[in-house]
Structure formats: structure tokens, C-alpha cells
Amino acid sequence: MKIFLISFALIILYAGCSERNVKPIIDRTLNADELPAQESWNATIFFTDSGATKAVLATGHLRMFEKLQMTLLDSGVHVDFYGIEENITTVLTSLRGKVNDATKDLYALDSVVAISDSGVTLKTEELMWRNKDKKIVSDKFVTIITPVEKIQGYGFESDQALRNYVIYNITYTARNDSL
């Protein structure tokens, strides 16, 4: 019986040590350009100019695509905008967004809310923060709520502190006399 077990073990060992190479299956449908060059969770990005902080962006999931020069932001976006004295002037939140890596322009998408330190609240579905002139712009429907009024319309431009803003096609205005 011992000889039988040893012979059986040698046969199994010999069969497992064959010189046959196993080639892995390669998925040729996957395009490497569609994969992010970098990916991060709970990421923070600092926007600076001459050493001064201009904005700090935090997101739950970040994917950077080098060839597209685009960074996609998912799982919530939170941006703190800073003024000249490096104090927070505006806080912007959205569900998702993207950053044009060439221009450093930020696009906030889906349930966008911006609240300034002066009490102005902006609500829209999409807006862009232009890095070159530090302006917030949108061609979508916007709602501005201040301590004294509510304005709605299409098309918007403002400084990043929401102090000097223009709504281009106003559809609704109301004074808030209760405050």
C-alpha cells in the first residue's frame, strides 16, 4: 500500500509540473486612454497664486486624465474660496465637478450651492469658476438669496466673493421685508 501511495503522489506531482505555459487572457477592448493617470479618495487640491491661497477644493473621489487634461470629481465637492487677506469669502458645494487642468477652471455640477461670508446664497445646477479672473459664471437657471431679496433668472456672473453679481435674464424678484 505504501508503494501505491508513493507512486500515486509522484504521478500527481509530475502532472502538476508540466512544461506547458499558460497564457493569460488579455482584454483588448480596454482602452488605456480611458483610464485615469491618477486616482485618489478624500483628496484636497490647493489653488495658489504667487504663494497666496486662492481656493481649497476637497472631494471624495478624484480621477485625473493626463491626455484629456481633465480631473473629474465625484462623491461630493467642497471648495473654500479665499480673499486678499487669505480669509474664506465663499464656500461652494456640489455633488460632482471637474477641473480643466490646462486653465485650472473649476466646473461645479449638480446641486450647486455657494454661500458667501456676506450672507448671499447662490443655487444652480452648474457653474464655472474661471481661474484667470476669479469669476463665477453660469448660463443656467440661478437663484440668488440675500438677507433682503430673492432673484431668479438665467445667466450669471460674479466675483468669487458673491459681492458684485449680475443675473442676465431675470425671471423673478422679491423683496424680503421680514428680515
Q: Note whether residue 120 is domain-resident.
A: yes
CATH code of residue 86: 2.60.450.10
For residue 149, the tally of other CB atoms under 10 A from its CB is: 13
CA-to-CA dists, residue 142 to 89, 139, 161, angstroms: 20, 9, 16
Q: Note whether residue 14 is domain-resident.
A: no
Q: Note whether residue 31 is domain-resident.
A: no
pLDDT grade for 118, boundaries at 50, 70 and 90: very high
- Domain encompassing residue 138: 36-175
Q: Note whether residue 16 is domain-resident.
A: no
Q: Which residues contact 76 (CB under 8 A, 6 or more apart)?
A: 59, 60, 93, 94, 95, 96
Query: Given this model, what pLDDT does residue 179 score?
Result: 42
Which percentage of the chain shows pLDDT scores above 70?
91
Q: Note whether residue 28 is domain-resident.
A: no
Where residue 38 falls (left for φ over 0; alpha for ψ -120 to 50; beta otherwise) is: beta
Q: Note whether residue 57 is domain-resident.
A: yes
Record the pTM: 0.78
Residue 8 has pLDDT above 90, yes or no: no
Q: Note whether residue 27 is domain-resident.
A: no
N- to C-terminal Cα separation, the chain? 97
Rounded distance between C-alpha atoms, residue 88 and residue 85, angstroms: 9
Task: Note whether 63 and 41 are within 8 A (CB).
Answer: no
Count up the domains in the chain and report the number: 1
Give the tens place of pLDDT for each residue, 66-90: 989 999 999 999 999 998 888 999 9
Residue 20 has pLDDT above 80, yes or no: no
Give the tens place of pLDDT for each residue, 50-72: 888 888 999 999 999 998 999 99
Q: Note whether residue 48 is domain-resident.
A: yes
Higher pLDDT, 58 or 179: 58
